[in-house]
Structure 1
Amino acid sequence: MFPLNASILIRHSRFDANEMKRCFHSETRYFSILRRPWDLFQSAYNFYGKGRLEKTATCFQMPIFFVNKGENLTVHQFLLKAAPLLNDSVPWYFRFRNFQAHDLGIDPMLTNQKEINKEIRRLDDNMDLVMILEHLEESMVLLKDLLCMDWETVTETHHLKKREYKRTMQFETTKHKKAFAGLYNIDLALYDYFNKTLWKRVDAYGRERMAKEIKILPKSSSKSLKTKQIHPSDNSSEEIKQYMFENSGRCELP
């Protein structure tokens, strides 16, 4: 339940196609971005694991606190412990179980592949573009084309050129790989599907045309856009606050 007549939504949110289409006009463009699931998992563990040895947990530290129980675990040790424990009874479980699927409105607990494929197709029908972080330049060219904007409005080359996303550590054993596949089954399927659709769109755009666009990415900073943002500020209606509260992660321990 978002405010009506908003211009743009850029805050953290969970995708709800029906609700967003109710609030935005019919020509609104919907786009998102996916990251390689294994890299996202490691990044999330390092990010949410800050202070993971504290005796009491905050929302920020869940569900790492629930899994680690005070132990200082490596990424791989956490993975093996988390695999059988994380489900929808654990506060903020989705941070380490199909995180991207959750944020895109898909139930992170789905295991039936036919249902998963159905949800991915539904998402594809409702998204105008799903970008891939590991192919950021191609993604930004497609975004520029989708939004009919010039480069200075869309992005900053400084960020694109200097920030590099590289693979970090690899699976130690097949046991770790299997545990990860169980926790991120939907995210892996999402990444595979939309990585393929991205390159189909690149082909439709034209490989030579794409290469030329990437070469002329501007060096100037992006222009500021004055847009209306959706945010649960003090002025938000109680109805909106209640909706956001009910649809956010739970903080209390089970």
Structure 2
Amino acid sequence: MNILFRYGEFHNLTFALPVQSSAFSYPYLFSATKVDGFSENGNKTFNIMCHHMRFMFSEVQKVMPSDTFYFTVLRNPISLMESSFSYYKSMGAFAKATDLENFVNNTSIYYNAKMAGSHAKNFMTFDLGFDHNGPDSIKNAKVIQGTVDAIFDLVLITEYFDESLILLKEALCWSFDDILSFPLNRRSNTTMKTLTFQTQEKIKRWNSLDWQLYVHFNNSFWKRVDEFGRERMQREVRILQRKRTENEKMCLQGEVAPSQLEDKLMMPYQSGIAAILGYNLKPGLTAPYRLLCQRLVTPELQYNRLIHLRQIGNQT
């Protein structure tokens, strides 16, 4: 989101923003009526839509231009569920479980299929707008995969984020500076849990639709890398990583725990039992570099407010 926020801000593009908060009525399916300034008969053009939503293609099409480039990102369901348990420990199906192992060993006790939202089962299938409690048959999984394939121009993979950014840069004709980013919303190592092989296998079975989705698009991702060229990919990843290192040296004192953050206005949203890290900038940065460095470390909620205020200002 930071990459898209920054690109849109620096190129004076118009975002499709939620009417309320920083999400489109999540966990309910996206509706065009939840976009600030949208009108069925209006002629307003939106360039970027990137806020949290439960995807519904027919409604997104009402808002975005016909030549919109659609992309999404998938993550290994094992690490996704370990992370989700940490972030959402205080709510829903996870609330009464002592730990993730306890949850996956007793899903029939803790999980209720009628609960709104799905941080606890087939999270990605849910976010893409499908029934996360649907049959985990190969046939159903193939229908989901085929639909995502037909709608999305590119599916990124979290575990290969730099390679994903290179493919995104290529597809959108962007520069290395456009895809530059620092890791945001990252947890302290103290809240990360190492899972046993048995627990990992149980997570895969519990999230069968997500697992089949991930395997399918991980395979198609590497086919796309092969088309791009493996050696070329390695070369461009090295360039991106070098640029990131240069900017880290220029911008950052370091990544710190919430209590050590010097600018409390840049505090990342804290959730569940996770301690979300932030960054302290180096002092004495000149104005243009300070703006870039500041934007690179601006958390999602704060950046959302900046974008919202900018668009209000452009309308007045």
TM-score w.r.t. length of structure 2:
0.58
2:239 corresponding residue in structure 1: 216
1:146 corresponding residue in structure 2: 171
Q: Name the amino acid aligned to 2:158.
A: L
How far apart, in 2, do the equivalents of 1:184 and 1:139 lie?
A: 23
Question: How do 1:116-131 and structure 2 match up within 5 A?
Answer: 116-131=141-156
Question: How do 1:87-126 and structure 2 match up within 5 A?
Answer: 87-92=112-117, 94-111=118-135, 112-126=137-151
TM-superposed deviation, 1:74: 2.0
TM-superposed deviation, 1:84: 5.9
Greater relative CO, 1 or 2 (CA 8 Å, sep 6+): 1
> Which of 77, 92, 101 is residue 102 of structure 2 equivalent to?
77
2:73 corresponding residue in structure 1: 33
> Which of 177, 184, 199 is residue 222 of structure 2 equivalent to?
199
> Which of 50, 58, 71 is residue 10 of structure 1 equivalent to?
50
The question of whether the paired residues in 1 share the 8 Å contact of 2:70 and 2:152 is answered with yes
The question of whether the paired residues in 1 share the 8 Å contact of 2:124 and 2:210 is answered with yes
The question of whether the paired residues in 2 share the 8 Å contact of 1:63 and 1:91 is answered with no
How far apart, in 2, do the equivalents of 1:187 and 1:155 lie?
A: 29
TM-superposed deviation, 1:104: 1.0
The question of whether the paired residues in 2 share the 8 Å contact of 1:14 and 1:102 is answered with yes
In structure 1, stretches of 5+ residues that fail to align are: 53-60, 234-254
2:278 corresponding residue in structure 1: none
Tell me how many residue pairs correspond in the alignment. Answer: 207
How far apart, in 1, do the equivalents of 2:175 and 2:200 lie?
A: 42
Sort the Cα spacing of 1:201 and 1:81 in 2 relative to 1 into closer, same or farther, 3 A: same
The question of whether the paired residues in 2 share the 8 Å contact of 1:76 and 1:172 is answered with no
2:86 corresponding residue in structure 1: 46
> Which of 86, 92, 98 is residue 62 of structure 1 equivalent to?
92
Sort the Cα spacing of 1:121 and 1:15 in 2 relative to 1 into closer, same or farther, 3 A: same
TM-superposed deviation, 1:212: 1.4
2:183 corresponding residue in structure 1: 159
Q: Name the amino acid aligned to 2:81.
A: F
2:62 corresponding residue in structure 1: 22
How far apart, in 2, do the equivalents of 1:97 and 1:20 lie?
A: 25
CA RMSD of aligned residues (A): 3.0
SS of the residue aligned with 2:155? strand
In structure 2, stretches of 5+ residues that fail to align are: 1-30, 39-44, 248-291, 297-303, 309-316
TM-superposed deviation, 1:178: 5.5
Q: Name the amino acid aligned to 1:37.
A: P
1:56 corresponding residue in structure 2: none
Q: For residues 102-127 of structure 1, give each alpha carbon's deviation from its aligned partner in whole angstroms, at most 9, with x where no partner exists.
A: 10112101223202211111111100
The question of whether the paired residues in 2 share the 8 Å contact of 1:83 and 1:179 is answered with no
TM-score w.r.t. length of structure 1:
0.72
How far apart, in 2, do the equivalents of 1:163 and 1:208 lie?
A: 32
Q: For residues 66-108 of structure 1, give each alpha carbon's deviation from its aligned partner in whole angstroms, at most 9, with x where no partner exists.
A: x53xxxx12101211225652431243x111000111011210
The question of whether the paired residues in 2 share the 8 Å contact of 1:154 and 1:222 is answered with no
